[in-house]
Amino acid sequence: MSTDAHDSLAAKADALLALHQPGNPVLLPTVWDAWSADLSVAAGFAALTVGSHPVADSIGKEDGEGMAFEDLLTRVGQITAKVDVPISVDVESGYGLPAEELISGLLRAGAVGLNIEDTVHKEGKRLRSSSEHAALVGALRTAADAAGVHVVVNARTDLFIRSDGDDTDRVDRAIARLKEAAEAGADSLYPVGRHTPDVMRRLTGELPLPVNAIALPESDDPASFGPLGVGRISFGPFFQRALSARANEILARWA
């Protein structure tokens, strides 16, 4: 990588990190190809996230690491060639690859951020222990530091969408798990799921880093997240699904 390319990536990573402000959340539309990325940047968004689920759908593969890391990087490279904004990428649970390979691959494709989740798809979809997930977050931070780019690490837990364990202490367990990830070097925390305002206030109030919320782009109020203390908003698969619903309406007139 040339010095200019490295410096450009480092600047984009720093810019992405600076956008994370609790109470004034950055909206990262979840995109899956150059077209959806260009559409989002033209609408005025300053950064984007690439979602594994919509990318997998767009290439005929299954979410949950049904595609290879190189499949994802091919698409990310197409996106970064089209738009000149910071790009974060959902790398699922890491595709069974070492942290150094994940970081080097993302930087090679022009991305400066990542989501890493604690469901291990290649091992029967088991849930990593909190210490195991924190160790992976720490390894990613070390690899990014070695590369000289502060890749923005968004540490995700699937406790809520998996409904693992008892309901009564799930928030406590999620907070404890994400605090470990924060201590290991994460930049933002993603308790993925749809939460009540009370739960979201507790998450943002007790977690030490900006919290990522997931939004329904066609129905949620964009102004509702800031007062809850959210620092980052993304759409997961829901932007693509909303467009699919509209496309089905159009196509049904002609079927």
**Residue boundaries of the structural domains of the chain:** 3-242
Report the relative pairing of strands 26-28 and 30-31 from DSSP bridges.
unpaired
DSSP H or E run through 127: strand 126-127
Q: CA–CA separation, 123 vs 120, rounded Å? A: 6
Give residue 117's pLDDT.
98
Q: How confident is the model at residue 2 (pLDDT cuts 50, 70, 90)?
A: confident
Q: CA–CA separation, 89 vs 42, rounded Å? A: 20
Which residue matches tokens 């308790």? Answer: 191
Give the residue among 113, 99, 127 at the shortest CA–CA distance from 10: 113
Predicted confidence (pLDDT) per residue in 158-168, tens digit: 999 998 888 88
Instruction: Tell me the CA distances in angstroms from 109 to 36, 146, 171, 240, one per residue in order.
Output: 17, 17, 36, 22
Predicted confidence (pLDDT) per residue in 26-47, tens digit: 999 999 999 999 999 999 999 9
Q: What is the mean pLDDT of the chain?
A: 97
Mean pLDDT of 178-183: 98
The pTM assigned to this predicted structure is 0.96
DSSP H or E run through 30: strand 30-31
Helical segments of 68-169, H only: 69-82, 99-109, 130-147, 159-162
Q: How confident is the model at residue 4 (pLDDT cuts 50, 70, 90)?
A: confident
Q: How confident is the model at residue 227 (pLDDT cuts 50, 70, 90)?
A: very high
Percent of the chain with pLDDT over 90: 96
Q: What is the CATH number assigned to the segment(s) 3-242?
A: 3.20.20.60
Which residue matches tokens 């290649």? Answer: 122
Q: Does the pLDDT value for residue 90 go beyond 90?
A: yes
Collect all residues with Cβ–Cβ distance below 8 Å to 53 and sequence separation of at least 6: 63, 90, 236, 237, 240
Q: Does the pLDDT value for residue 1 go beyond 90?
A: no
Q: Which backbone phi and psi does 99 adopt, to 5 degrees?
A: -55, -40
Give residue 127's pLDDT.
96
